[in-house]
Each structure stands twice: as C-alpha cells, then as structure tokens.
Structure 1
Amino acid sequence: MNARLCFVFGGLLSVTLVSCVTHKASPAALPTTGFVSEETIDHACQVRTVRRRGTSGFEVLYEGRDAYLARLAVIEAAQKTLDLQYFIWRDDLIGTLMVDRLLAAADRGVKVRLMLDVTLGAQSEVRSAVLAAHPNITVAFFNPMTDMKGIFAGNPVPVIGEIDRMQCRMHNKVMIADGSIVIGGGRNLADGYFGAHRHYNMRDLDFIASGSVVEDSAKSYELFWRSPLTQVGDPQKLTKHDHEELRELRGKVGRKMRSLAKKNGTHLPHSMSRGEALQTLRQLAGRMVWAPYEFVADPPERMLRQTRTASPTSHSVEKAMKEADSEVVMHAAYFIPGDEMLTLFKGITDRDVEVRVLTNSLASIDGITAMSGIANRREGIVDSGVSLYELNAKAPSRKTYVMAPKPTRMGMHTKGFVADNTVSFIGSYNMDPRSKYINTETGVIVRSPAFAARLKASLEEDFKKENSWHVTRDQDGVIIWTGQKPGKPPAVHHSDPGVTFGRRLQCWILRLLPWEDFL
C-alpha cells in the first residue's frame, strides 16, 4: 500500500478524521417556487452543483456480494458518522440487514442520518417513528408531496406552480462514513440489486472511494439535507409509545432478519466484527486506483424548475462521451435517448468512434413501461451508428452474479461507460429523459487507464453472444435480434426473444402512448 493510501485509511482505521458533515447545520433559506423566479432557481442549480476536479482513490464494485460486503464493512467500521441517501430502500432481507447494523452503529455512538426519496415508501422500520426515536438516528424524506404523520408532519405540499414536483425523484444513492469513505453508484438497498432475490435480480454497478471525493459527496448530501424540500423528523413530536417501542425494536428487527434470511435462502453474513470490517476495507484500499476525477451531482433545486432544463450531471456525462476518439463501451439499463442524444451519438460515430451500448431486453427488464421507450428508439439508435445490445435474461453469466439458491431471471440496473480505455463513468444517471430533465442524479468521472481497464472488463462480459442479443436491421430494414447459446449455431429472432405473446402485446400497446418525456 503506498504512502497516500496509508495516510487516508490510517485516518479511517484510527478514527482520527473529523467528519466534513455538520449535523447541526441550520436550514438553507431557499424559498419555494411561489416566491422565487425561475432565473433564481436556474442560478442556484448552477452555483450549488458539486463539480470538483482532484485526485482520489477508486475501486469498482460490480458483483452483488462484493457490493454488499463493502457496505457492511463501512457501517461496522464507522465510529463517528454515517450518512445514507437512497431512492429505494425495500422491506426485504438486504433492507432489514442494513437497518439492523445501522441500529448497532447508533448504539455504539455513531450519528446516523438516513435520507430517502418519499415516492416509493421505505423499509418499514425506516419509515416508522420508532427508528427515529433513537437519539443517534435522524430520518428525513425528500420532496414529500402528501400528508406525513407524527414526527414527519409539516412537509411541503404541492401548490399551483409546483405540480411538476409530483413526478420528480431524488435518484441519488450514496453512503458516507466518518467523512473518510464513500460508496456511490446505481444500487438501491434491496435484494434484487445485490443478486439476493429469489426470483429476479439485476446486474448493477457501484464505486467505493476515499480522498477528496468524499468531501464532495458530503457537500452534495448536505445541500439535500438542508433543503426546504427535505422533511427531517422532529424529535419533539415523538410520543411515549415511540420510545417504548424503541426498546423492543432491536429484538424485533433481529427476528425479522433471521426469518427473511431463512425464507430467502441466500447465505450472507449478517454482521462483521470490527476487525473483519477493517480488514475488508484494507483490502479494498489496496486495490484502489488513485486518479483525477470529476464528481457531479444535481442540486435539490432541480425539483423547483418549471422549464425543460438538462441537468448538470447530463452535461458532464455527455461531454465525456463527446471527447471520445476511438471507442465508447456503455451499460445503460434504461437506454431511451431523445432526439438530441441521438444527434450526439451520430456525431460521435461519424468520427469513426465505435459506440457499443448494452440495455435491457423485454425479457430482462423490471418494468414494461420503460421498455416501451427503449423499443420506440431502437431504429433511431441503430441508424445513429451505435451497436445496440439487449441483455439475455437467461445469460450464462448470471450464475456468477446471482446468489439465490437457484439461477433467477436477470435484468440490469447498471449505469456506466468507458471511453478510449481511459475515461470512466459510474453513477445513478440513466440515459433517459427522466434522468436528464426530471430527476436529481450523481456520479463520478474517473480519468485513469488502470481504472478504465478494470471497469471495462466487467462491462464486456455481458456483450458476449451468449449473454446478450445484438439488435440490428435486416435487409428490409426490420429490427432483428441475434444471439448464440454456447455450443449452438447463431439464432436470429424477428420479435423480442424470450417472452410471451402477451408481454409483447403489452409493450406494443404502451409504445403507442406519448409519454417518453416521463420515462
């Protein structure tokens, strides 16, 4: 381990670094749309966006088990602060395991802050006042649009001029410990994102990092936490019943966790000793690549915009692709490029830059609604010169990713690319209108041949003939899918492979609806 790694992780392991997050900061004084102009919002979106260049250490977290163990180690090793920001936190095994270990961290004195998008609810203990009754745990919901009860009451509600907020999502996924280490990328906290679901799992992608990028991530987190669009639980509204239930919560969560684990059948460690956690982090530190980077994050003010304005994150992502000279290799789970994006890709391929993109197929995707957008853009994508691939839901590669007792259907939730074997992107940003114009997103752009080689190796696996379908046009201009099972001749399909007629019909009907801007 070089001297720089020893310095940074020495701070984490000896717990001498002071968190860069101020937990008692006063709320930001940003008014809602009814009292501020669109110009003011646009200005805030520019000046409060975190975009910093520097040097930090990065490692790819591609396999689900590695991504889970990294999170577990970070929680178990934390001694001062833990800040989590997530879009989805399901009430399943992974979600409950996270709650159990965060409770344990809070019991040993770690100040824990949990921030979730309010749209899809949350894990049952996270959304209850009982967890927030812990003196070291604070729970907040971003962009609440309906009445919230108890300690979360008093949230902002939509008024005339703010109706657009109803479709906005805080899509960020970040975990920060002790101001020293960060995990970010695409994974939500749920079984299916870690290969641990019994019926359906998705390939996904994260990074773990140390160095100044942690400070950047914490700054972004703080902007969301202090935003007037964030409703933080008020401890003054806790009841005697909430405090009484807190005493029973640890046992309840433990029993629930063991029951879910038995039902799930996935063998995952439920905890780590501090020594095991530190050893895991040392191993990750030893593999980190130190490189220049750009951290990008959309500000919370995007929720207040009333015009169709591309996000700051989208500008950075597109700029990195435009600069490619020879090759772009991309995983985009929900690849729905609008006309502007197709023009961008056409400009890139016209310079003889090879662009390969893997996205979901109708058989692999978790929602037919998004698939309708992908399907409607296939012809335009192929005509732009992009080599388009769709994931085979029964790809042999799923055996190395799925931890469930039996191989499950596999989809993808990955958002990442490598350009010219040098520039890499990992984040929450999908190549779709929702990420570009509606959601808030975050990610890192790393400039390093060594890191790019590592990421590209993981991306390339699913481009193989047995793992994906190559989408092209036949001599009549009709879309076809070509794949090849191991030891078998190539197979050509003239309709979405691996699905029933009923599912194709559903997708066809949804393709008729004029809703691409919201997918």
Structure 2
Amino acid sequence: MKSWHRLLACGALLLQLTSCGSTRPNASALPTVGLVSQETIAHACRQHTVRRKGTAGFEMMADAKEAFLARLAMVEAAQRTLDLQYYIWRDDVAGTTFADRLLAAADRGVKVRLLLDNTLDAQVEVSSSALAAHPNIEVAFFNPMTDLKGIFAGNPIPVLGDIDRMQSRMHNKLMIADGTLAIGGGRNLGDPYFAIDRKHNMRDLDFIASGPVVDAAAGSFELYWKSPLTRLGAKEKITDREREKLQDLRRHVARKKRALAKKSGRPYPLALTRAEALDTLHGLVGRMIWAEYDFVADPPERMMRQGNVASPVWHDIEAAMRGARSGVLMHAAYFIPQKETLDLLRAVTTRGVRVDVLTNSLASTDGVAAMAGIANRRIAALDSGVNFYELNSHAADRRDYLHTRRLTPLGMHTKGFVVDNDVSFIGSYNMDPRSKYINTETGVIIRSTAFAARLRSYLLKGLEPRNSWHVTRAPDGEMLWTGQLPGGETAVRHHEPGASLMRRVQFWFYRCLPWEDLL
C-alpha cells in the first residue's frame, strides 16, 4: 500500500477519536509488526485455523426473527459456557437485550466470555468495567493499540509500523453455547441485522450448527482469546461495593431494555423461559442437514501482516468457485472484485458457467463509501461475464422480512453463495479488498445438495425483478437498471434508482477518491 494511502487511513481514523468511548480500559503496548517475523506471519496466514472433521449438522437462518430467537434461546438454555466473538455490538434493543440475558446467564453460573473488536464502541454496558467485574464474565478486546494519556486517554494512537493494524478489523461473528451449538455468519448484534431498526434494516444470513464443527469454531475462538493481540480486562476481588454496582447494573440494563423495546414497539421477546428456549433450539436442530464441511477462519496473526496477504477464507472460496461446472449464485453485500477476482470470474464464465451476483445499490447500502467501490467495478464485473444485480431498497419481499411498525428501506449484509447446487458458503467474508487483505474473517463451506437447495431458494428470491435491479449495459455503453414496480410493470432507470440527492453527492465525492484498497 502506498504511503499516502496509509496517511489517508490514519487521518480518517484520527478524525474519529472524539467518538471513541472513554469506558475502555487502557491498553498496554502490544507486539508491533516490526517486532514479529513477517515470514512467520505469512506462514500462519496461509493456513486454516481449523479444518474439516467428519460431518456436522447445519441449518441456515435467513429470517431475522428466527436468527434473533436462536441466539436468545442459546443464551437462555446454556448451562456451562457461552463464548461470543463479534465485530459490532450496538447500543440498541438487540444489543441491550443480549447484555441483559448474558448477565442473567452469568448469575446462574454460566461462564461467559465476550471477545469484541477494539475499533468500534461496544454496547455501553457490555464495555463497562461493572459488567467485567462479574465473577462469571470476562470481556476482552482484540487488536488494541498503544494508548496515550491525558486528553487522548482511551484512544488508539499508532506506533511505528502499526498503520496497517489501525485499518484492520476482527470481522468474525461467532456464538458458541456449552460447546454443543454454534451460530456464525454475517449478523452483528444490533437492530438493523435483525430487521427491527426504525430507520434502515438489512437482509442477512447465518447458520446454526451442531456436531464436530462446533469444536472447530471453539478452536478458532480460543486462538483469538489467547492471542497476544487480545487485551483481557483485569479481574478484581469482588467486594460488597462491587456487588452493589452489579446489582445496580442489572436493574439499569433491565430498565433500559424495556424502554428501548417499548420505543420500537416490542418486536421480539425480551427473554425466554428455559422451556421456550429448548423448544426453539429443538426445532432448529430437527431441521438440520448433516453434511461434510470445511470450517475456515483467518488466524489472528493476520492483524500483524505487512503487505497484501490473502485470507485463508478467500482461498477456500476461490477453490469452490474455480471448480464450478454449471453455476454460481452469490449474495455479496459489498461486491468489489479486483483483478485477481475478476480473472477468476472471467475464467469461470468463459467455460459456460453462469454467475449471478446480487449486491447493494446506492439506495440500499449502509455505506456510501463502499458503494463507490461497487460502482467503480460494475463495468469490469459485467465484462467478466457476471450477471449483475443490485438490491431494490423497496423490495417487495421486505414486507416478509421486516419486523418494524413502519416499512423502512432495506439493505443487504448477506455473505453467501451456492456452487453447482451442491456446495454452499455462509460466513462473514465480503467479496471486497478489505475482507481479502485486511480483516480477519470466518465461514463454513457445506457440501450437501439438500442444504444447497435451501440456500439457493433464498438467494434466487433476491434476484426476482420485484426485489432487485438487473444492471446491464446498452449498446452505446450506458448503464441500465431494470426492475419491477409495485404494480407489476417493468421499469428501466438510467442512473442509480431510488437514491436521494444527498446520497448522490456523497457518492460522487467518494468515487473520486483512489482508496479502493481500503474498502
């Protein structure tokens, strides 16, 4: 990466310092890239953290309410351990509900470990020292930087050689209960990912799994938890004063949860009885398809790499796509294919393989900067032979997906695909430079025609004209968006459909910036 790219990234992050939470414990100095062998790091980044062991049970969760209830049920039913690894944990109904129920789980003796990315503020109570003081709860942050004191206390300041690490994100999403069930995929913990936000929501996709794959997920979690890049909050002796603080925290979180839920219309249950939780989980386990799999996860060492080292998750995705014989059907929230990916797509389509890709539109995306990267690669994607679609922010099926009082614009956060009707992928990996070279990611490749049929049915629904815009080029090179209006008539647009003037202005500005490698 060019030095001015690094300065741009550094500047952008420093501008956000004022928004960084002051509740985080100060980080001690951690190993920097200059102090670790890049050969060792490169070797680790070429490996899978864990690999396939036999067969395991899987069910996909596209429905937002089911995905919420599955997580809630796992928390309520857990008896021994709960491990959670997340990039974003928002301070809203979903985030506060899980904070409340994790406290309740810890109170009944469940050992809870929360591993969060350090670059974004977590839900207020989750990141508080009061929660971490609970004898059964440990909260850790991954990839913290060296901190300064005084007015800059709590804000990450790069040391020499750490600019790349400033950009890096632990983008993994995992929840593991009692070492028997695991949930992974695209969803963070927040209202938009469960279709209950009052302003903007996103289609998303998870898997729930049982069997040996849970051991694989737990193995990946342990690598991150024990990594020198993980900062664990110090545990202090529980005093009467600390017990009072915990009791105050319980009451505060419970009140906050109820207040937020009331404001949003109480879209989901805020707690489940053990019987309700077990019924929910039994239903999901009963639907599972047992299949061969590869659980793939980037090693934590990726945070300390220098230069472009491709993700191990990418290598498995590439292998699956390269072996396609008839078709690839993909939902990629931020589809920004660079040369290597475009070459792969062209090689696949040249053999007669049909490749269909659905990504966000300018009106649907939650990040205009990322949309600039998508738009800048539209023509190259079309030239590679891809059938290219962008989500309609007013898709007809949003009525089935949203659980809000009023319909909101719909975006997409899904990361999943099917190859040849027998190989499926669900994970956190976006088809963009950030996932390939900067973030850490995780996912599962499932080899089952029955599972692929389920996933394919969901993915195809997104490509219907009433739900997306088919992007093509006219003979004169003009971009065209073709879709279906609510009345059923066909509509053709000559510019990004449904986007506001403000979004168009932002979009134009971002498209002028040469920062695709950071998107």
TM (norm. structure 1) is 0.91
1:295 Cα deviation after fit: 0.4
1:267 Cα deviation after fit: 2.3
Alignment of structure 1 residues 433-512 onto 2, 5 Å: 433-512=433-512
Given the alignment of the two structures, is residue 170 of structure 1 paired with residue 173 of structure 2, yes or no? Answer: no
1:246 Cα deviation after fit: 1.0
Equivalent residues of 2:115, 2:140 under 8 A apart: yes
Alignment of structure 1 residues 206-245 onto 2, 5 Å: 206-236=206-236, 242-245=242-245
Q: Which amino acid aligns with 1:190?
A: G
| Per-residue CA distance 1:201-253 (angstroms, 9 max, x = gap) | 00000000000100000000000000111000111388876543112111111
CA distance in 1, matches of 2:469, 2:271: 39
**Number of the residue aligned with 1:66:** 66
Equivalent residues of 2:133, 2:236 under 8 A apart: no
Equivalent residues of 2:45, 2:310 under 8 A apart: no
Secondary structure at the counterpart of residue 112 of structure 1: strand
Relative distance call for 1:367 and 1:91 in structure 2 (3 A) is: same
**Number of the residue aligned with 1:262:** 262
1:311 Cα deviation after fit: 0.7
| Per-residue CA distance 1:39-88 (angstroms, 9 max, x = gap) | 01112333562232421000001010000010011111100000000000
Secondary structure at the counterpart of residue 286 of structure 2: helix
Equivalent residues of 2:109, 2:136 under 8 A apart: yes
Equivalent residues of 1:470, 1:481 under 8 A apart: yes
**Number of the residue aligned with 2:330:** 330
**Number of the residue aligned with 2:97:** 97
Equivalent residues of 1:51, 1:297 under 8 A apart: no
1:163 Cα deviation after fit: 2.0
Equivalent residues of 1:266, 1:403 under 8 A apart: no
CA distance in 1, matches of 2:133, 2:276: 30
**Number of the residue aligned with 2:15:** none
1:164 Cα deviation after fit: 0.9
**Number of the residue aligned with 1:388:** 388
1:488 Cα deviation after fit: 3.4
**Number of the residue aligned with 1:366:** 366
CA distance in 1, matches of 2:145, 2:238: 22
Unaligned runs of 5+ in 2: 1-29
1:280 Cα deviation after fit: 1.0
Secondary structure at the counterpart of residue 125 of structure 2: helix
CA distance in 1, matches of 2:501, 2:45: 45
CA distance in 2, matches of 1:398, 1:148: 46
1:500 Cα deviation after fit: 2.5
CA distance in 1, matches of 2:378, 2:133: 50
CA distance in 1, matches of 2:43, 2:236: 35
Equivalent residues of 1:392, 1:468 under 8 A apart: yes
Q: Which amino acid aligns with 1:198?
A: R
Alignment of structure 1 residues 131-146 onto 2, 5 Å: 131-145=131-145
Given the alignment of the two structures, is residue 425 of structure 1 paired with residue 418 of structure 2, yes or no? Answer: no
CA distance in 2, matches of 1:282, 1:510: 47
CA distance in 2, matches of 1:48, 1:32: 23
| Per-residue CA distance 1:17-46 (angstroms, 9 max, x = gap) | xxxxxxxxxxxxx95433322101112333
CA distance in 2, matches of 1:212, 1:436: 27
Matched residues, number: 487
| Per-residue CA distance 1:456-506 (angstroms, 9 max, x = gap) | 111111111011000000110111100112443311111100112332222
CA distance in 2, matches of 1:235, 1:455: 44
| Per-residue CA distance 1:94-123 (angstroms, 9 max, x = gap) | 000001110110000000000100111100
**Number of the residue aligned with 1:9:** none
CA distance in 2, matches of 1:34, 1:157: 16
Q: Which amino acid aligns with 1:64?
A: A
**Number of the residue aligned with 1:4:** none
Relative distance call for 1:275 and 1:504 in structure 2 (3 A) is: same
1:301 Cα deviation after fit: 0.2
Alignment of structure 1 residues 163-312 onto 2, 5 Å: 163-236=163-236, 242-312=242-312
Equivalent residues of 1:54, 1:294 under 8 A apart: no
Q: Which amino acid aligns with 2:390?
A: E
| Per-residue CA distance 1:128-162 (angstroms, 9 max, x = gap) | 0000111000000001125399xxx9999742122
Equivalent residues of 1:171, 1:440 under 8 A apart: yes
Q: Which amino acid aligns with 1:374?
A: I
Equivalent residues of 1:335, 1:432 under 8 A apart: yes
RMSD: 1.8
Given the alignment of the two structures, is residue 45 of structure 1 paired with residue 45 of structure 2, yes or no? Answer: yes
CA distance in 1, matches of 2:281, 2:503: 44
CA distance in 1, matches of 2:61, 2:100: 23
CA distance in 2, matches of 1:505, 1:33: 38
CA distance in 1, matches of 2:232, 2:154: 10
**Number of the residue aligned with 1:19:** none
1:296 Cα deviation after fit: 0.2
Equivalent residues of 2:32, 2:161 under 8 A apart: no
Equivalent residues of 1:295, 1:444 under 8 A apart: yes
Q: Which amino acid aligns with 1:106?
A: A
Equivalent residues of 1:424, 1:455 under 8 A apart: yes
Q: Which amino acid aligns with 2:194?
A: F
Secondary structure at the counterpart of residue 126 of structure 1: coil
Secondary structure at the counterpart of residue 94 of structure 1: helix
Alignment of structure 1 residues 338-417 onto 2, 5 Å: 338-417=338-417
Secondary structure at the counterpart of residue 295 of structure 2: strand
Alignment of structure 1 residues 11-50 onto 2, 5 Å: 32-47=32-47, 49-50=49-50
**Number of the residue aligned with 1:22:** none
Relative distance call for 1:371 and 1:156 in structure 2 (3 A) is: closer
Unaligned runs of 5+ in 1: 1-29
Equivalent residues of 1:143, 1:156 under 8 A apart: no
Secondary structure at the counterpart of residue 342 of structure 2: helix
1:332 Cα deviation after fit: 0.2
CA distance in 2, matches of 1:108, 1:467: 45
TM (norm. structure 2) is 0.91
Relative distance call for 1:157 and 1:231 in structure 2 (3 A) is: farther
Equivalent residues of 1:130, 1:243 under 8 A apart: no
**Number of the residue aligned with 1:56:** 56
